[in-house]
Structure 1
Amino acid sequence: MLTLTSGAVQVIRTVTANPEMPPETGIRIEAGIDGSDALRLSVAPEPEAGDQVVEAEGARVYLEPTVAQLLDDKTLDAQVDPQGDVAFTIAEGGQGGPGGPGV
């Protein structure tokens, strides 16, 4: 199952901490629509049917079924740069550090 670093947990909780959104709001990761290996991230009010739900310390990630298989043994990390832009990265095998393709 996908694991989340403490950085990813912090960023996801910040991104989804809108009082106007439902409490189940999380980040959804799905396959890109252009046929490439790129993944798409979006804020989702709840999981879609068939999504795998990963939750850590109040941060929720919803994984499309095919993406859940792809990321089964990976770690999601996130960092915010000085301009406030968020970068998500995926690391191999639960290492929990930056590296791997950006999301």
Structure 2
Amino acid sequence: MLTLTSGAVQVIRTVTANPELPPETGIRIESGLDGSDALRLSVAPAPEAGDQVVEEEGAKVYLEPTVAELLEDKTLDAQVDPQGDVAFTIAEGAEGTPT
């Protein structure tokens, strides 16, 4: 199952903390368009049917079934740069080795 770093937990909780959003709001990761290897990440009000749910310390990540398989042994990290832009990265295993 996908592992979340403490940085990813903090960023996801910050992004989804808006009181106007439903309490189940999380980050959804799905496959890219047109068979691309790229993954798409978006804020989602709830998981879609078949999504795998990863929750840690209140941070929720919803994984499309094919993406859940792909990221099964990976770690999700996130950082915010000085301009306030968020960058998510996926690393191999729990070691945090970048891919």
Structure 2: segments with no counterpart, 5+ residues:
none
Q: What is residue 63 of structure 2 aligned with on the other side?
A: 63
Whether the aligned pair in 2 keeps the contact of 1:12 and 1:26 (CA below 8 Å) is yes
Whether the aligned pair in 2 keeps the contact of 1:54 and 1:62 (CA below 8 Å) is yes
- Tell me, what secondary structure is at the counterpart of 1:12? helix
The TM-score normalised by the length of structure 1 is 0.93
Q: Give CA-to-partner distance per residue, 1:15-60, whole Å, 9 cap, x none.
A: 0001000100000000001321100000000000000000000000
Q: What is residue 84 of structure 1 aligned with on the other side?
A: 84
Normalized per residue, the structure richer in strand is: 2
Distance 2:3 2:11 in 1: 14
Q: What is the percent sequence identity of the aligned residues? A: 87
The TM-score normalised by the length of structure 2 is 0.97
Distance 1:24 1:2 in 2: 19
Q: Which amino acid aligns with 2:60?
A: R
- Tell me, what secondary structure is at the counterpart of 1:14? helix
Distance 1:94 1:3 in 2: 7
Deviation at 1:96, TM superposition (A): 3.5
Q: What is residue 40 of structure 2 aligned with on the other side?
A: 40
CA RMSD of aligned residues (A): 0.9
1:1-103 equivalences in 2 (<5 Å): 1-96=1-96, 99-100=98-99
Distance 2:68 2:95 in 1: 18
Structure 1: segments with no counterpart, 5+ residues:
none
